[in-house]
Chain A
Amino acid sequence: METSIKEFKHCDVIEVKGRVDSATAPQLAKVLDKAVADGHFKLALDLTKLEYMSSAGFRALLATQRTCKRYNRGEVVLAAVPDRIREALELAGFTELFKTFDNAIDAVGSF
């Protein structure tokens, strides 16, 4: 798994690439925690190049969504979610907890 962060005026775009499972989810959690610790609560995750995500990754997303939405200071939105991952997120009932956008530009525009 690899991540890269771009800071925009109203939000950060975090690109998540590769595979997120129990081995790599802690690494993703660390990146998200760091953004939040730096006071960035409006996060758009660009998942264009995400190949795989298990429930370990879902848990990291949920924890960050909780922190970001606290005091209405922001939220996590998802962009370009690949089909297979969207289907798994739907099964887990996660699509109701995250706004999703077709691409990162639309996600940035939502803030």
Chain B
Amino acid sequence: MKRVKYPADFQHLDSIRDFVGEVAERAGFSSKEVYSIQLATDEACSNVIEHAYEGISGGKIEVECEARDGQIVIVIHDHGKVFDISTVRKPNLSRDLDEREVGGLGVYLIHKLMDEVSFHSSKKDGNTLTMKKRKSGDS
């Protein structure tokens, strides 16, 4: 499993997307799937930076990524506040412009883009988000 630590700063999202994108590409995921994996990872890390490390400076995000047996697993660790994405409610996706909400969209996309998403938090190890996606063979 490849593991890289990044400063919790939006400026590093580019490098984080490159990192998971490269692993997915090398494992033979389609360009559509690679984009989905990059987008889900970006949304997850953006949430960590925005919410888990809200008001905390110098935080780090550790991203682990491994592709094996037609599946990619991405694990995102942080030591910020607990931000459990399973508690984020689904945004209102109504057609009415005035009713549309701006929050919760990133989490909604993560669940749509990935096959499995789980969250674990402990005092010792901090917060861990695990996302999995299987190769579907589409283009």
Q: Which residues of A are interface residues toward B (Cβ below 8 A)?
A: 19, 21-23, 52, 54-56, 58-59, 62-63, 65-66, 69, 83-84, 87-88, 91-93, 96-97
- A84 touches which one: B17, B31, B100 (CB < 8 A)? B31
- A63 touches which one: B32, B43, B102, B106 (CB < 8 A)? B102
Q: What is the count of residue pairs linking A and B with beta-carbon distances less than 8 angstroms?
A: 67
Whether B14 sits at the interface, judged by CB under 8 Å, is yes
Whether B119 sits at the interface, judged by CB under 8 Å, is no
Question: In whole angstroms, what is the CA distance A22 to B43 when docked?
Answer: 9
Please determine whether A54 and B31 come into contact, CB atoms closer than 8 angstroms: no
Helix, strand, loop or mixed for chain B's interface? Answer: helix
Helix, strand, loop or mixed for chain A's interface? Answer: helix
Please determine whether A92 and B39 come into contact, CB atoms closer than 8 angstroms: no
By Cβ-Cβ distance, the 10 closest A-B pairs, closest first, are: A23-B10, A93-B93, A55-B105, A84-B35, A22-B46, A22-B10, A55-B106, A59-B102, A21-B13, A91-B112
Given A59-B102, A63-B102, are A54 and B97 also a contact pair (CB < 8 Å)? Answer: no
Q: Which chain A residues border B31 with CB–CB below 8 Å?
A: 84
Given A55-B43, A62-B100, are A23 and B14 also a contact pair (CB < 8 Å)? Answer: yes
Given A55-B43, A56-B46, A63-B102, are A92 and B108 also a contact pair (CB < 8 Å)? Answer: yes
Q: Which chain B residues border A83 with CB–CB below 8 Å?
A: 32
A-B contact pairs, 27 of them (CB 8 A): A21-B10, A21-B13, A21-B14, A22-B13, A22-B49, A22-B50, A52-B17, A52-B39, A54-B13, A54-B39, A54-B42, A54-B43, A55-B46, A55-B105, A55-B109, A56-B46, A62-B100, A62-B102, A63-B102, A65-B97, A84-B32, A84-B35, A92-B93, A93-B93, A93-B95, A96-B95, A97-B95
